[in-house]
Amino acid sequence: MRCEHLARPAGAPISLATLVTVLKTMFDPGRAGDLDATLALQLERGAFEVRIGQGRIDVTPGPARDPWRSLPRMSLPWAG
């Protein structure tokens, strides 16, 4: 059953909060294994620190402190 009043119009951007929720939801601790890393995620509308370790992912708004890797600044047309 689809709730039309909750559906996002086709082509409408998703919020940064939704993008963060998707990252957390799609995270697979099994595939991360023993990875212990901090990533810098740069989007057109904001920077995030992505911390992976102990089978968890934490996403925090703001620049990453001492990242292991930095993902280049990205413009995602579907992320508003």
Read off the pLDDT of residues 13-63 as tens digits, 9 standing for 90 and up.
778 888 888 889 999 999 999 999 999 988 877 889 999 999 999 999 999
Q: What is the mean pLDDT of residues 60-74?
A: 87
Q: Which two tokens stand for residue 63?
A: 């620049």
74 or 10, greater pLDDT: 10
Which residues are CB-neighbours of 61 under 8 A, at least 6 positions away? Answer: 46, 47, 48
CB-based burial of residue 48 (10 Å sphere; 0-12 exposed, 13-18 middle, 19+ buried)? Answer: buried
pTM higher than 0.75: no
Domain layout of the chain by residue ranges: 29-73
Report d(CA 53, CA 37) in Å as an integer.
6
